[in-house]
């Protein structure tokens, strides 16, 4: 699941690439599998995240969200968590 998540996010090193179609990236990597539905629990985690608004910077916001992901989803590797946190801060700013 970590590999599919990094493909969806567009960066295998923990970044987030908002340009392009993430669903298409998944279809190219996994042409016969419906994997995006399995990723939704990670991608939409931020919707229910009770973010403490006191963070002073995007970096702090990303780290708070990454800590949340690490505790809730121990199955995710550090680069997947970093990518999700980058996606969160991209949408937060």
What confidence tens digit (pLDDT) does each residue in 12-39 have?
Answer: 888 888 888 888 888 888 887 777 777 8
How many whole angstroms separate alpha carbon 82 and alpha carbon 66? 7
pTM: 0.81
User: Taking phi first (over 0 means left), then psi (-120 to 50 degrees means alpha), and beta for anything else, what does residue 2 get?
Assistant: alpha
How many whole angstroms separate alpha carbon 70 and alpha carbon 17? 21
What are the pLDDT digits (tens) for 32-50?
777 777 788 898 888 878 7
Tokens 């298409």 belong to 24
How many whole angstroms separate alpha carbon 9 and alpha carbon 46? 14
Nearest to residue 10, comparing CAs of 64, 88, 87, 89? 87
């Amino acid at each position: 699941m970590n590999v599919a998540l990094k493909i969806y996010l567009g960066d295998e090193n923990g970044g987030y690439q908002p340009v392009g179609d993430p669903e298409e990236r998944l279809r190219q990597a996994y042409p016969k599998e419906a994997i995006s539905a399995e990723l939704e629990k990670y991608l939409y985690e931020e919707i229910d995240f009770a973010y403490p608004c006191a963070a002073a910077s995007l970096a702090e916001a990303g780290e708070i969200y990454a800590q949340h992901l690490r505790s809730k989803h121990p199955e995710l590797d550090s680069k997947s968590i970093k990518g999700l946190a980058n996606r969160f801060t991209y949408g937060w700013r």
